[in-house]
A and B are shown apart, each in its own frame.
Chain A
Amino acid sequence: MSESTSAIYISMATVLLVWVTIAVYLMQVSSRLRSLKRDLNGGSPGNRPASGTADAAPDVATEPPSVTADQWTWMAWYAALWYGCIDTLRLLDRSRRAPKVVGRRRNIGYQEKFV
């Protein structure tokens, strides 16, 4: 594996590490939030909180919980991210076959700047 190929894979792995860390954190926190909302609304009638704290949450008995909507959002989020990763690889592959002279003038300028 050449140095530049290795560098791009290391860069990709680094970006992936960032996304995975944030996604795991968000997933855990969102799951905790759902669980707490269920706890707050799903107890015995005597345990129900005052209306001020429960106004945003739907009644468990009459309406399905918001988990389904959240799941859809998560799936869409992951689909977008995965599409991004796959499309990136596809485009990279295409750009390697026909290399473009993109930004090269800039780089020349950068070198000349130090003259």
Chain B
Amino acid sequence: MAQRLGSISRLLVGVWLAGVTIATFVIIPPYQGLGDAGRIVIVHVPTAWVAVIAFTVSAVYSALYLRRRRPDDDAKATAAAEGGLIFTLLATLTGMVFSEIAWGVFWNWDPRQVTILVLLLIYAALFALRSAIDDPERRRRMAAVYSLFAFVTMPFLMFVAPRMAESTLHPNCAFIKGSDCEGITLKIGHVGLLGDQKVQLLGLEQQGDTVVAQVKVSTPGLESEAVLLPGYDLTTRSYTDRPTFPGQRFTLALEAVDLERGEARINMEAPGSGLLENQRTLWVFLAANIGFTLLFIWMFLVRSQVLSLEVQIAQRKVALA
């Protein structure tokens, strides 16, 4: 009976995820500024989210192992950490593809990319540690302690550090509530930072009801430099022209102009902003999160069972020897 229920559950997870896959490419509309590349987000964010769940489960079972010293708890902690590592790796890879389409590079050492890489290395070290200790009891104890320490770094690396960084291209909450950039107000001649781009307001020129700003933008290390001319309509109080940063899909917009004081508020708009404002996208995104969580539970149950059986067999061999 339990076996049949298990089979049905696995089948349902498969059907659910097949539905999510179809919906990702059929139901979700192509997104403004990103087109079809925005669909990657439906896979990228849930994989990162499931990694967080997996590392939390691993920490819980590690703590339980230290308290109860049951090999089963260690098996579950290891299975969860393994799942977490796989999902973190997938989140990194899918993020890199998104980065290539949206920003023009696979890897640019963005704070978010760096922190997820550090997290990957921390949890990869857990498995290196496990493989380096022969004594099973000692291995479990050390791994449980390490896993708890690794877990402490996880929220900081996943949620805090990338948001503390002022210079990031990652649309942190841009997908949910619009462009994350607050924009900066610059006087003529002054320099500021938008994302990782240095911007300098060179001048403001009024042409009838329109104001055109001259903004010099340059990438870190001055690899490229360009002068962009965003426009602003004084009557409608909105931008008229949003030029694109050289080699990237970010656009530069004038959001406010004060000609008397010679200053303007300029902002960087990331493609993907407000992605989840579309109801269909939002529902598919939520369904993907549920599907990936179920998939993790499946992976976790099977893997922890394997590890528990391995322990049982090893114990039997010792008993027979």
Chain A residues with Cβ under 8 A from B21's Cβ?
15, 19, 81, 84-85, 88
Considering the chains assembled together, what is the distance between the CA atoms of A38 and B253 in angstroms?
65
The 0/1 profile, CB within 8 Å of A marked 1, for residues 7-22 of chain B is 1001100110111011
Chain A residues with Cβ under 8 A from B86's Cβ?
21-22, 25
- Given A47-B316, A103-B280, do A21 and B90 touch, yes or no (CB 8 Å)? yes
Contact of B310 with A by CB under 8 A: yes
Beta-carbon contact of B302 and A30 below 8 Å? yes
Q: Which of A36, A47, A91 contacts B310 (CB under 8 A)?
A: A36
Beta-carbon contact of A15 and B90 below 8 Å? no
Considering the chains assembled together, what is the distance between the CA atoms of A72 and B157 in angstroms?
42
Q: Which of A39, A66, A104 contacts B313 (CB under 8 A)?
A: A39
Closest to A88 in B: B25
Interface residues of B in 203-255 (CB under 8 A from A): 236-239, 253, 255
Closest to B44 in A: A14
Considering the chains assembled together, what is the distance between the CA atoms of A7 and B34 in angstroms?
9
What is the interface of chain B mostly: helix, strand, loop, or mixed?
helix
The 0/1 profile, CB within 8 Å of A marked 1, for residues 277-321 of chain B is 110110000000000000100110011011001101100100010
Considering the chains assembled together, what is the distance between the CA atoms of A55 and B30 in angstroms?
52
Chain A residues with Cβ under 8 A from B178's Cβ?
110, 113-114
Beta-carbon contact of B14 and A80 below 8 Å? yes
The 0/1 profile, CB within 8 Å of B marked 1, for residues 64-108 of chain A is 001001101100110011011101100110010000001110110
Considering the chains assembled together, what is the distance between the CA atoms of A110 and B206 in angstroms?
27
Chain A residues with Cβ under 8 A from B273's Cβ?
110
Considering the chains assembled together, what is the distance between the CA atoms of A106 and B302 in angstroms?
42
Chain B residues with Cβ under 8 A from A1's Cβ?
none
Considering the chains assembled together, what is the distance between the CA atoms of A78 and B14 in angstroms?
8
> How many residues on B have C-beta within 8 angstroms of the other chain's C-beta atoms?
64
- Given A84-B21, A91-B26, do A49 and B316 touch, yes or no (CB 8 Å)? yes
Considering the chains assembled together, what is the distance between the CA atoms of A39 and B4 in angstroms?
22
Contact of B269 with A by CB under 8 A: yes
- Given A14-B40, A81-B18, A91-B22, do A37 and B309 touch, yes or no (CB 8 Å)? yes
- Smallest Cβ distance from A1 to chain B, in angstroms? 12
Contact of A10 with B by CB under 8 A: yes
- Given A18-B94, A88-B26, A91-B22, do A7 and B7 touch, yes or no (CB 8 Å)? no
Q: Which of A66, A84, A113 contacts B18 (CB under 8 A)?
A: A84
Chain B residues with Cβ under 8 A from A51's Cβ?
none
Contact of A12 with B by CB under 8 A: yes
Contact of A60 with B by CB under 8 A: no
Interface residues of A in 11-70 (CB under 8 A from B): 11-12, 14-15, 17-19, 21-22, 25-26, 29-30, 32-33, 36-37, 39-40, 47, 49, 53, 56, 66, 69-70
Beta-carbon contact of A18 and B35 below 8 Å? no
Chain B residues with Cβ under 8 A from A83's Cβ?
18
Considering the chains assembled together, what is the distance between the CA atoms of A108 and B312 in angstroms?
61
Known A-B contacts: A7-B37, A22-B90, A114-B255. Give 11 more (CB < 8 A).
Answer: A11-B40, A22-B86, A25-B86, A33-B305, A76-B11, A80-B11, A85-B21, A104-B29, A109-B277, A110-B32, A114-B178
A interface residues with partner B (beta carbon < 8 Å): 3-4, 7-8, 10-12, 14-15, 17-19, 21-22, 25-26, 29-30, 32-33, 36-37, 39-40, 47, 49, 53, 56, 66, 69-70, 72-73, 76-77, 80-81, 83-85, 87-88, 91-92, 95, 102-104, 106-107, 109-111, 113-115
Can you sample 10 A-B contacts with CB below 8 Å?
A8-B35, A15-B43, A36-B310, A56-B2, A76-B11, A77-B11, A80-B14, A113-B274, A115-B238, A115-B239
7 cross-chain pairs, A with B, having the tightest CB-CB distances, nearest first: A103-B29, A84-B18, A77-B14, A8-B36, A115-B238, A107-B32, A7-B36
